[in-house]
Amino acid sequence: MSGSEPAPVEDRRDSWEGPVPIPSGANETFWEATLEGELLYQRCEECGTSQLYPRAVCTGCGTTDPPFETSEGVGTVYSYTVCHVPGEPGFSDRTPYAVAAVALEEGPRLLALLDCDPEAVEVGMPLEVTFWQVSEEAAIPVFVPR
Ligand SMILES: [Zn+2]
């Protein structure tokens, strides 16, 4: 555990029309923490693999239920795509928007929406996490420039 301050959680339940995550299994702990502004990842005690989003088994060695750790929520753009055509229903009023593979400082990478001018995004750009609460059960991680 890092002891860092939780990230802001913005209530988007009324305006969000995108996909809503359904917490289940290994994901339940992860989504519970998002409501508190905490980004969790898994680090395998057997082989050291860190992963996001959570899975029931380690992608490195197959150990079940790798334990959770709290990320500082900072990282950089590993790669990104600017979407001009909405890939999901509900994103039509949002195009163009950027989706990035975010490399967290702790190692794991996750795909996430970027809340910034898509033209300004570049590989290596420093980011920090915020959360948009989209349901009673989940707040999606959204990254902003740091
Ligand atoms: Zn492992």
Q: What is the CA radius of gyration of the chain?
A: 15
Domains of the chain plus CATH, in order, are: 9-145 (2.40.50.840)
- The Å distance, Cα 86 to ligand 1 centre, comes to 36
In DSSP terms, 139 is beta-bridged to: 133
Name residue 117's amino acid: D
Query: Which residues make up the environment of ion ligand 1, defined by Cβ < 5 Å?
Result: 44, 46-47, 49, 58, 60-61, 63
For 28, which DSSP code? H
Tell me the pTM.
0.89
Summarize pLDDT for 37-74 with one digit per residue, the tens: 999 999 999 999 999 989 999 999 999 999 999 999 99
Is pLDDT above 80 for 92?
no
Token pair for residue 129?
């996490």
The number of C-alpha atoms within 13 Å of 61 and in the hemisphere containing its C-beta is: 11
Confidence of residue 18 (pLDDT cuts 50, 70, 90): confident
- SS3 assignment for 89-105: CCCHHHCCEEEEEEEEC
- Contact in structure between 50 and 70 (CB atoms under 8 Å): no
